[in-house]
Amino acid sequence: MIDITCKKLTMSYSAEKILDKIDFTINEYEKVALIGLNGSGKTTLFNILTSRLDYDNGTVFVNKSKKLGYLKQIDDFSDKDTIYSVIEEVFKHIMNLEGLLRSLEAKMSNPKDGEDVALIMEEYSAVNDEFEKLDGYSYQSRIKGVLNGLGFKHDDFSKNINKLSGGQKNRVMLAKLLLTSPDILLLDEPTNHLDIKSVEWLEKFIKDYKGTVLLISHDRYFLDSVTSKTLFLNNKHITQYNGNYSYFINKRSEELELQRKKYIIQEKEIQRQKEIIAKFLSNGRDKKVKQAKSREKMLQNIQRVEKPEEENNKISIRFTPGLESGNDVLFVNNLSKSFDDEKVFENIDFNIYKGDKIGLIGPNGVGKSTLVKIITGQLSSDSGEYNFGHNVNIGYFDQELSGLNPDNSVLDEIWDEYPRLKVHEVRGYLARFNFFNDDLFKTIDNLSGGEKSRLSLLKLMLSNTNFIVMDEPTNHLDIDSKDVLEKTISDYTGTILVISHDRYFLNKIVTKIFDMDSMGITEYLGDYDYYYYKKNMLNMEEEPENRITKTELKNNAKKEREIIRERQRLKKKIEEIEASIVKLEEEISELEGKLCLPEVYNDHIKAKEVNDNLENLKSQLEDEYYQWEECQNSIP
């Protein structure tokens, strides 16, 4: 059953087209990601689907027999509203039924003169049946479960909602939405303001959710975990990929490479034809001129291969410390910090060495940002000490982007910091960070969050820093910008300490995880996935009921060896399939080039022969991709 479909949907703001004849379909129970660059029109599409925005042309179908749920703007709350009371509104009908049951119970236990107890009992039975059908006895535990999952402690439930931050209010509204249990769920950046533990809870919730989900998110790990279809909104059009984010990335990369090859082949042939035309025209004979005109007409009618996206339109810069630090970068011993009478953290001990790339993680409110502000000299500690090693030059990127002058233009912001750079050098660096033409003269105050992030990153990369401390650097960045930021940091030869909730980002760049909680910091060697595996193993070892016998250990080891052998077999098969795919794509590209040759397209028999071979190869390629996907999904 189709839950959402759009056909030839077109939408413009003034003269600027935002969506141009887009087509897609979402079936019942599918979990679908909508991705694209910032400003590509994702939120506009959501607003159209939820009838908050009109569109110009096309058709939009949302199944009217289904309940649609989406995050609305934060409500105006009364001074008496608490977190719990706001969430309880979802179950107002159930609460009314519960009140009626209590009233009927009182009547049954103490009937008044003339009241028919049998009728009261009959009404009680009917009301109780409806109450049970709505799962009324569990609504309070459901509220507590969702609030706990989204990071609220039991002590928070009674807090006045008007005293919460914007991020906390958003979490309350998300909890309210999830508890309404709509049939179709639309989520726009649902992992914003959530710590890693809460995101993991939300992942499980959506995986188990018995409904259709369409979500916008820059959290690639989250998308990989919960979605099975990807809609890529790019250049006003949507392309559908039947897989998660990683599948989309691989497929998209293959498509761009194939398009690049086709483009190069066609451009070479067009250039060759132009040279022949020029030669014929210079000959001056009528016959040659006619041939030249014929070829010119052929070139005018040829279906041009669109030039593939240029990689240099994305952030792309490599930076190396101008000054090399010693091996010992930072020693921290017994740090503690309190604000007024509230202790933020204590007993913080860790060491950082040259070349370390460390991810600092932990629940919201545990003091991660406070810790890095102490290290970077913005706050003082209550006790303990920290010492930097020889030649350590620290640079700080904070999530508030406080290092920017709001009155400066983009160009002046870089020039003021680095006055020795020439104008063409400044423009070149800014271009690599997607600042072109009029963008250079925008004031900082008028930039979007993502633009401010890019500018702050550029300032940091131009500095002589050899120890970079970052606080949520992927906030406000679109997926393409994150990819290039990861490559930049991975290639960086200095030392990095980064606070991040972006698990995909952590997997790409860190070599250690510092897990911070109320008891201090625990160090794990490896990326986020290794930390997650290791921590779960340690938790299992701490539970007596989960301890296993030697025989079980031996059996587990045998199973592990079998899994490793199977994994190796599948990886070898994948390599063979990938080699076959490359060969087939080269053959396809060669045949597509032949179709552009006059001796082929002017000869019907040759053209048919080449085209038949081309279709056969494309069929083989499709089979190979299917086998590749099967093997990838089968890897244990």
Q: Which residues pair with 216 in a beta bridge?
A: 34, 188
DSSP 406-469: TTSBHHHHHHHH-TTS-HHHHHHHHHHTT--GGGGGSBGGGS-HHHHHHHHHHHHHHS--SEEE
Q: What pLDDT score was predicted for residue 384?
A: 94
Residue 305 has which token pair?
């291969």
pLDDT (tens digit, 9 = 90+) per residue, 268-325?
888 888 888 888 888 777 787 888 888 888 888 888 888 776 544 454 556 678 788 9
- Calculate mean pLDDT across residues 22-48: 91
* pLDDT of 203 strictly over 90: yes
Q: What pLDDT score was predicted for residue 75?
A: 63
Mean pLDDT score of the chain? 86
Our CA dihedral for 500, 505, 509, 514, rounded to 10 degrees, sits at 30
- Calculate mean pLDDT across residues 543-562: 59
**Contacting residues for 201 by C-beta, under 8 A, at least 6 apart:** 149, 150
pLDDT (tens digit, 9 = 90+) per residue, 557-579?
567 667 767 777 887 888 888 78
Q: What pLDDT score was predicted for residue 326?
A: 92
Token pair 């949507």 in the structure block, residue: 238
* pLDDT of 547 strictly over 60: no
Q: What pLDDT score was predicted for residue 312?
A: 43
Q: Which residues pair with 238 in a beta bridge?
A: 233
**Contacting residues for 301 by C-beta, under 8 A, at least 6 apart:** none
Edge-to-edge order in the sheet of strand 184-188: 68-70, 184-188, 212-216, 31-35, 229-234, 237-241
Q: What pLDDT score was predicted for residue 551?
A: 61
Q: Which CATH number fits domain 328-421+433-544: 3.40.50.1100, 3.30.300.20, 2.40.50.90, 3.40.50.300?
A: 3.40.50.300
- Calculate mean pLDDT across residues 536-562: 62
Ranges assigned E (strand) in 14-145? 16-27, 31-35, 57-62, 68-70
Helical pair 449-462 and 423-432, crossing angle rounded to 10 deg: 130
* pLDDT of 247 strictly over 90: yes
Using CB atoms within 10 A of its CB, is residue 595 exposed (0-12), middle (13-18) or buried (19+)?
Answer: middle
Contacts 24+ apart (CB under 8 A), 153-159: 156/83, 157/82, 157/83, 157/84, 158/82, 158/83, 158/84, 159/82, 159/83
Judged by average pLDDT, the poorest of 178-182, 362-366, 537-541 is 537-541
- Can you say whether the dihedral through the CA atoms of 370, 372, 376, 382 is positive or negative? positive
- Calculate mean pLDDT across residues 572-594: 82
Which stretch, 375-389, 420-434, 577-591, has highest mean pLDDT? 375-389
Answer with the residue of higher pLDDT: 279 or 600: 279
3-state secondary structure of 180: coil
Distance CA 591, CA 615 (A): 10
Distance CA 592, CA 577 (A): 22
Q: What pLDDT score was predicted for residue 143?
A: 94
pLDDT (tens digit, 9 = 90+) per residue, 186-195?
999 898 888 8
* pLDDT of 59 strictly over 90: yes
pLDDT (tens digit, 9 = 90+) per residue, 444-463?
988 877 788 778 878 887 88
CA distances from 594 to 269, 271, 606, 609 (A): 10, 15, 10, 11
Judged by average pLDDT, the poorest of 8-22, 259-273, 305-319, 606-620 is 305-319
Residue pair 546/552 in contact by the 8 Å Cβ criterion: no
* pLDDT of 53 strictly over 70: yes
Judged by average pLDDT, the poorest of 127-136, 164-173, 553-562 is 553-562
* % residues pLDDT > 70 (the chain): 93
Categorise residue 387: left if φ over 0, alpha if ψ from -120 to 50, beta otherwise. beta
Distance CA 350, CA 365 (A): 20
3-state secondary structure of 397: strand
pLDDT (tens digit, 9 = 90+) per residue, 475-488?
777 777 787 778 87
Fold of 70-211+218-243: Rossmann fold (3.40.50)
* pLDDT of 219 strictly over 80: yes
pLDDT (tens digit, 9 = 90+) per residue, 504-519?
999 999 999 999 988 8
Label residue 30 by pLDDT band (50, 70, 90). very high
Answer with the residue of higher pLDDT: 566 or 203: 203
Using CB atoms within 10 A of its CB, is residue 50 exposed (0-12), middle (13-18) or buried (19+)?
Answer: middle
* pLDDT of 530 strictly over 80: yes
Answer with the residue of higher pLDDT: 529 or 284: 529
Label residue 556 by pLDDT band (50, 70, 90). low
pLDDT (tens digit, 9 = 90+) per residue, 335-390?
999 988 888 999 899 999 999 999 999 988 899 999 999 999 999 999 999 999 99
Q: What pLDDT score was predicted for residue 95?
A: 93
Contacts 24+ apart (CB under 8 A), 266-272: 266/302, 266/304, 266/305, 266/593, 266/596, 269/593, 269/596, 269/597, 270/299, 270/302
Distance CA 496, CA 353 (A): 10
* pLDDT of 212 strictly over 60: yes
* pLDDT of 402 strictly over 50: yes
* pLDDT of 548 strictly over 60: no
Judged by average pLDDT, the poorest of 15-19, 522-526, 549-553 is 549-553
End-to-end CA separation in angstroms for the chain: 32
| Amino acid at the residue 266 | Q
Q: What pLDDT score was predicted for residue 277?
A: 87
* % residues pLDDT > 90 (the chain): 42
* pLDDT of 624 strictly over 50: yes
Q: What pLDDT score was predicted for residue 554?
A: 57
Residue pair 407/443 in contact by the 8 Å Cβ criterion: yes
Edge-to-edge order in the sheet of strand 16-27: 16-27, 2-13, 57-62
Label residue 125 by pLDDT band (50, 70, 90). very high
